[in-house]
Amino acid sequence: MGIYNTGVLTQNLFINQVTFKHMHKILFALCLLFAATGLKAQKAKQTYMSFCAGCHGANLQGGVASALIKKDWKHGGDRDSLIKTIRDGIPNTTMLSWKAAIPAKDIEAIADFILQAQATEEPKKP
């Protein structure tokens, strides 16, 4: 019995230690994920500012081109349509195809950035 109890105690301590060790890893992974998500959003905003804000406005409110916070999308406001519009451009307009200038992953990130803005912001006047 004594040996058995010691065994269980040792085993429990061992399990606790293992759980504790992994808890650190899990927390660390969550922090990384959180930081990565934030960085990705920040990067998408920077890319938007460099390439798009000149025509569509710094707050997506529109300028020489239409606003990008709206419901009346001419070419579709869902993720796939946004990606397609940005990637391929719109013929006979100054909306170019951006696929040569912006990597596919970053185009997806800009689409997510635009979608995010629909959910969180009303268009702001400059």
Using CB under 6 A, list all residues that contact ligand HEC. Answer: 51-52, 54-56, 65-66, 68, 73-75, 82, 85-86, 90, 93-95, 98, 110
Smallest gap, in angstroms, from Cβ of residue 12 to ligand HEC?
56
Q: Closest CB to ligand HEC among 51 and 123?
A: 51
**C-alpha angle 61/81/89, rounded to 5°?**
75
How far apart CA 124 and CA 74 sit, in angstroms, is 21
* Contact (Cβ atoms closer than 8 angstroms) between residue 37 and residue 46: no
Q: Closest CB to ligand HEC among 5 and 93?
A: 93
Q: Closest CB to ligand HEC among 7 and 54?
A: 54
Name the closest residue to ligand HEC (Cβ). Answer: 52
The number of helices, as runs of H, and strands, as runs of E, in the chain is 4, 0
